[in-house]
């Protein structure tokens, strides 16, 4: 078992160390993160300034519990809804760095919801998961009020971890609601937090509020799944990037295996050449491999 203080384990839980890009820079680990922030913020600005996409700024709770809904003049009233949950180790990022995928999806007929959430340490991770359940209630209510018949969910990194809670048998998801969910897409996620929460570099001063007892309750890899039948019509994809860390890739592989073992219909997929960051950056490009994958799930 890894020593939580070992340098190798720290690197395993920092995907930026595994990029093959920016190797001409003094510190590729920092350069890839700075590039991600810069380009994703530009993607968000371009939506309304250049792409003619409209946005409704809505709220599902207090603080940072926000949702931006994107569409254009051609968006049908019955358009499928694509919901995105951003990453950032539950302590970073916001909507401004989370809109890269919006443009291509809206141009191909989707309405897109990008949600934000309160960050640790303002809340503990357990509290954040409770607030995510509030969001699920809100987004399903929104879908019903706006006559949405088809919903796709995707989460990246920590957002993929949060998205897994939709399968935990929570009251927010009834059999009637789950039938509307066409796909659940888990992108480069982390699903077992037992090593991670002991790392000071990832969880400084335990801002996530985890211990040996509650870390299991927030680790999707360790759950029992009981409400499998209500997801029989939902496609599930557990996605990893080739240039992510070996630990992140292996956790995705194991999580897909766990879902299938429990009776879900899950597909594990590794995207060649991508790393933890450009797999999101390139969702802004209509004909990139990841963008085509996200919008073509409907036809599979």
Can you list the residues of the chain whose pLDDT is less than 50?
Answer: 1-6
User: Judging by beta carbons within 10 Å of its beta carbon (0-12, 13-18, 19+), is residue 51 exposed, middle or buried?
Assistant: middle
pLDDT, residue 172, reads 79
pLDDT, residue 171, reads 77
> How far, in Å, CA of 155 to CA of 191, rounded?
12
Residues annotated catalytic, as ranges: 157, 244, 276
> How far, in Å, CA of 145 to CA of 68, rounded?
16
pTM for the predicted model, two decimal places: 0.96
CATH of 7-299, one of 2.40.128.20, 3.40.50.1820, 3.40.50.300, 3.30.2350.10: 3.40.50.1820
pLDDT, residue 7, reads 52
pLDDT, residue 2, reads 34
Encode 261-293: b = buried (16+ Cβ within 10 Å), e = exposed.
eeebebebeebeebbbbbbbbbbbeeebebbeb
């Amino acid at each position: 078992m890894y020593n939580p203080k070992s340098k190798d384990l720290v690197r395993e839980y920092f995907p930026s160390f595994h990029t093959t890009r920016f190797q001409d820079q003094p510190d590729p680990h920092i350069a890839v993160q700075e590039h991600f922030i810069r380009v994703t913020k530009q993607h968000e600005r371009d939506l309304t300034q250049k792409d003619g996409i409209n946005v409704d700024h809505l709220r599902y709770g207090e603080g940072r519990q926000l949702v931006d809904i994107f569409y254009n003049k051609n968006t049908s009233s019955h358009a499928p809804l694509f919901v995105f949950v951003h990453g950032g180790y539950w302590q970073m990022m916001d909507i401004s760095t989370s809109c890269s995928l919006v443009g291509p999806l809206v141009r191909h007929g989707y309405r897109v919801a990008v949600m934000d959430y309160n960050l640790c340490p303002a809340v503990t991770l357990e509290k954040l998961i409770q607030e995510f359940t509030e969001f699920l209630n809100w987004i399903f209510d929104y879908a019903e009020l706006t006559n949405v018949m088809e919903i796709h969910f995707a989460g990246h990194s920590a957002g993929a971890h949060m998205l897994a809670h939709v399968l935990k048998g929570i009251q927010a998801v009834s059999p009637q609601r789950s039938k509307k969910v066409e796909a659940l897409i888990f992108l480069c996620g982390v699903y077992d937090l037992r090593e991670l929460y002991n790392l000071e570099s990832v969880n400084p001063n335990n801002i996530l509020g985890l211990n040996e007892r509650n870390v299991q309750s927030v680790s999707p890899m360790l759950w029992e799944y009981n409400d499998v039948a209500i997801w029989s019509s939902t496609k599930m994809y557990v996605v990893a990037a080739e240039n992510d860390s070996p630990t992140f890739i292996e956790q995705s592989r194991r999580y897909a295996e766990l879902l299938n073992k429990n009776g879900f219909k899950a597909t594990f997929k590794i995207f060649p050449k991508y790393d933890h960051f450009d797999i999101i950056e390139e969702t802004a490009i209509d004909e990139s491999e990841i963008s085509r994958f996200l919008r073509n799930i409907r036809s599979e």
